[in-house]
Amino acid sequence: MKEMTKFTPSFDIENSHNGIVAGIDEAGRGPWAGPVVAAAVILDPANLPNGLNDSKTIAEKKRDIIAAEIRAKAIVGVGIASVDEIDEINILQATFLAMARAEKELSTQPDICIVDGSAKPKLRAPFEMVVKGDAKSFSIAAASIIAKTVRDQMMRDLAKIHPEYAWEKNKGYGAPAHRAALDAHGVTPHHRKSYAPIHNILYPDP
């Protein structure tokens, strides 16, 4: 079996560029419910938050603590694309829309953005795509933490309205409790109707 390469985030990618660099990442492309959220973060290299890493590797409570420190020490922009936008233009385009909105929300315009992944959004600033960027770049890691914590809180808030789907735990992914609730209670306005599991509930084969 081929061993997976492990990366440690650093400021190397940022240092390879001149000017102000913003890291951009998203959270929530895979879930069956809820919005997709993107974040853009401009870090101060002389005052980096502690614990920056790919958000998926950090426990939820610790993520919230690190997110607060990022907001205190960095310039942060957040962009959201709604469930209706996801259904209308598809999840990839909605992700790009959220990224563009996050960049626009920055109080300082970056000279270049470094963006997690390989699919190219439409941004105002020039950008570089970085595959597994949240594991390689401090700025993208910070953006991944902000995007994840914002979206997680949105799903916890929605769970108070629809507790039967256990979104406070599964965050809208197709976990067993979520599937069972769909069978018992049906589809809510917060479900992505363009996603096959939800579409098939609404429009079953005759």
Q: Phi and psi for 40 in degrees, rounded to 5?
A: -125, 135
- Smallest CA-to-CA distance from 132 within 48, 36, 9 is with 9
Task: Please tell me whether 152 is known to bind a ligand.
Answer: no
Q: 């400021």: which residue's tokens?
A: 11
Sign of CA dihedral 84, 85, 88, 90: negative
Count of positions (residues) in the chain: 206
Asked if 114 and 130 count as a contact pair (C-beta separation under 8 A), the reply is yes
Output the CA torsion 198→199→202→205 (10° steps). -120
H helices present in 106-194, as ranges: 138-161, 167-170, 176-185
Structure tokens at 136: 């390689």
- If we measure between CA atoms, which residue out of 144, 90, 142 comes closest to residue 117? 144
Task: Show binding-site residues for a divalent metal cation.
Answer: 25-26, 116
Task: Show binding-site residues.
Answer: 25-26, 116
